[in-house]
Copies of this chain bind each other. A is one copy, B any other.
């Protein structure tokens, strides 16, 4: 499987630039991360990785996710229950998160108009913005409907 070549190159470049090494574990973890659907926790990724290479330790997964974040391949998403998840970052445009507080589904949404207002707002307060997180909490249509129905 030669998918995700781009991401592998990015990682290799980042490692080379920092004088770090390109190891089998890091590649295994990267592949597992890229093939998984977005928004997984370190532990969930560890479970996937373990199923492919039982010898990889949990600490390595934590370390490597941090590495991906520094390399610009992943981003931490902080949920409101104080848990942390990681999502793909490369080749994914910036987006905000719509989170259903009943089923915990996460929908990625985009609203350029909001971005523009944010920049202007920050500017007015003398801030140089370099990042932002917008989390919208609500109840999705499915959950609303199953809540309304009598059998629950």
A positions within 8 Å CB-CB of B: 76, 78, 80, 82, 84, 96, 98, 100-101, 107, 109, 111, 113-114, 117-118, 121-122, 125-141, 144
Contact = CB atoms under 8 A, between A and B. Distances in A.
Contact of A136 (B76, B113, B122): B122
Contacts of A128: 138-139, 144
Given A109-B121, A134-B132, A139 B114 contact: no
Copies of this chain in the oligomer: 2
Shortest beta-carbon contacts, A-B, top 4: A126-B141, A127-B138, A129-B138, A131-B137
Contacts of A122: 98, 136, 138
B139 A130 contact: yes
A112 B78 CA distance: 24
Contact of A109 (B107, B125, B138): B125
26 contacts: A78-B78, A78-B80, A78-B82, A98-B121, A98-B122, A100-B127, A107-B127, A109-B121, A113-B117, A114-B114, A114-B121, A118-B134, A118-B136, A121-B136, A122-B136, A126-B140, A127-B136, A127-B140, A128-B144, A129-B136, A129-B138, A130-B137, A131-B136, A132-B134, A132-B136, A132-B137
Given A131-B138, A134-B135, 20 more contacts: A76-B80, A78-B80, A78-B82, A80-B133, A82-B82, A98-B121, A98-B125, A100-B127, A101-B131, A107-B127, A109-B125, A111-B121, A121-B136, A122-B138, A127-B139, A128-B138, A129-B136, A131-B136, A132-B137, A133-B137
